[in-house]
Structure 1
């Protein structure tokens, strides 16, 4: 792996750890501040909303700076937010700390995706993006379970101090290994915003919101779901999160590999399977073995959508991808916020800790509908532009051979 991609992966590891570690610590944080589990869920929702706001905001603020300098600034902001979270005297300050750290999230992954794609050949772009996101997925195998264990053993505040130190390492990696990559000449902010007039860009972002939102509907409340429904001990949450993280690693790599070959079919399969597995989770969550298997599948299928969706946005906004890429990262977190909120609503309404899985299944199914629509519109546009080539492209190879 090029050292520049390794630097991006280290930063992604720190960001992924702070984003997901709160799931395993939610009961401890809620108890410490004297709030309910659904209220503590705002630490997830607030973070996600911060990513949604911070992605375009920080990207716009960085339009006059080199991409490397923006990445350094974002890592510094990430460190400050985690230190504030670790020292928070009240729940409100804790939410503020989460918001501060979240401002770095969207722009880091958005700009990082562009940098990663620029470092490799065109046919390897999705793989490079997936390599950067490997830091995020590995965080769920190592960082999140370790952070959960540290939080349960030494207190959740210690976890956030450790995450801040990971951020320092990420900052050093970006400073040392990311090359100076100035913003391309001739690209203006208005040019960046023009990408949002592309229907395919908007459809891809909507798929992002709904598809990954389906994952978070289940995972946000994984700790109470597994202890109350499956009967796991609180200490078991750590290794359950390891299984989720392992699924993410596999799904991310598979998604990156096949997105460079057959992007839309990869989305159809992963989103359809994700919806089905989330629906089944309402049943499998009541058994320890099936619950553990399902958690792994949710991680794998959820992250199999990430590289193709991110590459889809980069392809469709190829003339000015930076802002669109960052906003799409925000779209992932809009889905997180929406699903965490909806999951909290159904729990608060008395439907039980497994009920968010139904929310997730519905969101993933809606994303699949949009993916099918997006593919149909793309085929229509190709046929309108070049009917002969389109007919050849969509016919079996032996038919084309016989015709000619």
Structure 2
């Protein structure tokens, strides 16, 4: 399939210009013509974009005191920045995926990175809190669609049987961001002002855009779609069940993550100055779990999902019972992150497999599910803590959510057999 963007020339001069443009475009190969080495470099560039997104998503939490002091508002008021970014993700992921189906994937991923850079540049330059809120919303818009296009592009470039690992490779950028990117941006923000953290993201995004512009091939094996095709995902029961499974299952992990600082300091007696070490254990668990999840998805997708969910139940319960120990609590917190991250590439690949021609929208919905789980998990944890059950109790609620996700998995298997009988 040949991608031609130019209009038919109307004069010899226009024809000559068009020819020059065409020759320049031909220097970029089709995805079927690239070497394995170049494919790896392109995937690394896409992972760098995921690293930038992960950094900008999570670093805002640690910057809230600085932002609140700068604009003279309370930290509770400043915390709306987290919600407004998540809203951008939830809104942007399905809409961008649905309305950009006809755009070549290479061009789309460059536009999404440009949106990320613009949103973070506006965050740096924001003269007041209202503009900063708008900037964070803009920064969140490309989040889900970027992961959708990057994951599908990585899978499309990879040989059959390696697509789960390809998606995990791209997602690794998000996991590594929790270990390296967020602490680095946090340190910059603390030393030079909160603006510096977003400057780092702008530089990461610009570097990603440059690498992809020069190295990403034309994705000729990824056919264009239209809005009616993408919206068919909303009529697919398997897509809905997989999204629900993600919302419920990930909610358990985020219910613990939200209150981890209080749990470790108030319950385990850990010094607040050492919370960074607990969060680093979490980041390492995410990184290793993401890699393992990609391998497991390629080996046995359905088993990988139910295995991760079942072990997440066990890990959350263990965290609850051992949270009074700083060492054991940190270890089980890392194990929670491991099995939570194991789910990500598996659910992503499952959405792609069950979505038919609506893969872009279905894949983007996984990111919406993660952000809904983030908000709902935090809310459920808040209800439990507010009821006076203690800071460890969200882990029990989280285990209940993961167990409910296991039941949803059972429904997906029943529904899959039902659809097969109808076919």
Classify the secondary structure of the residue corresponding to 1:122: coil
CA contact (8 A) 2:120 2:201 kept: yes
Find out whether 1:124 has 2:174 as its counterpart: no
Classify the secondary structure of the residue corresponding to 2:122: helix
User: In the alignment, what sits opposite 1:400?
Assistant: none
Change (3 A) 1:346 1:310: same
CA contact (8 A) 2:156 2:221 kept: no
> Which residue of the other structure, out of 372, 376, 383, is the alignment partner of 2:410?
372
1:4-403 matches, cutoff 5 A: 4-26=42-64, 28-29=66-67, 34-36=73-75, 40-88=78-126, 90-181=128-219, 184-185=222-223, 187-347=225-385, 351-379=389-417, 381-382=419-420, 384=421
* C-alpha distance in structure 2 between counterparts of 1:276 and 1:28, whole Å: 38
CA contact (8 A) 2:263 2:323 kept: yes
**Which of 221-230 and 111-120 deviates more?**
221-230
1:21-40 alpha-carbon deviations (Å, 9 max, x no partner): 23444555556654355x55
CA contact (8 A) 2:101 2:225 kept: no
Change (3 A) 1:148 1:362: farther
* C-alpha distance in structure 1 between counterparts of 2:419 and 2:98, whole Å: 32
Q: Matched residue pairs, number?
A: 384
User: In the alignment, what sits opposite 1:398?
Assistant: none
Change (3 A) 1:22 1:239: farther
CA contact (8 A) 1:9 1:134 kept: yes
CA contact (8 A) 1:10 1:173 kept: no
Deviation for aligned residue 1:379: 4.2
* C-alpha distance in structure 1 between counterparts of 2:123 and 2:391, whole Å: 27
**Which of 8-17 and 370-379 deviates more?**
370-379
* C-alpha distance in structure 1 between counterparts of 2:60 and 2:92, whole Å: 20
* C-alpha distance in structure 1 between counterparts of 2:300 and 2:211, whole Å: 33
**Which of 247-256 and 344-353 deviates more?**
344-353
1:292-327 alpha-carbon deviations (Å, 9 max, x no partner): 112211211110000110000000013231111112
CA contact (8 A) 1:51 1:103 kept: yes
User: In the alignment, what sits opposite 1:392?
Assistant: none
CA contact (8 A) 1:255 1:308 kept: yes
Structure 2 stretches lacking a partner, 5+ long: 1-36
* TM-score, with structure 2 as normaliser: 0.82
Classify the secondary structure of the residue corresponding to 2:367: helix
What is the RMSD computed on CA atoms of the aligned residues? 2.6
* TM-score, with structure 1 as normaliser: 0.86
Classify the secondary structure of the residue corresponding to 1:101: helix
Classify the secondary structure of the residue corresponding to 2:162: helix
Change (3 A) 1:236 1:87: farther
Change (3 A) 1:100 1:272: same
CA contact (8 A) 1:314 1:324 kept: yes
CA contact (8 A) 1:281 1:357 kept: yes
Change (3 A) 1:29 1:289: farther
CA contact (8 A) 1:145 1:241 kept: no
Classify the secondary structure of the residue corresponding to 1:205: helix
Deviation for aligned residue 1:221: 3.5
CA contact (8 A) 1:55 1:105 kept: yes
* C-alpha distance in structure 2 between counterparts of 1:108 and 1:172, whole Å: 16
**Which of 102-111 and 280-289 deviates more?**
280-289
CA contact (8 A) 2:98 2:230 kept: no
Change (3 A) 1:344 1:84: farther
User: In the alignment, what sits opposite 1:391?
Assistant: none
User: In the alignment, what sits opposite 2:28?
Assistant: none
Deviation for aligned residue 1:250: 1.0
* C-alpha distance in structure 1 between counterparts of 2:106 and 2:234, whole Å: 25
User: In the alignment, what sits opposite 1:389?
Assistant: none
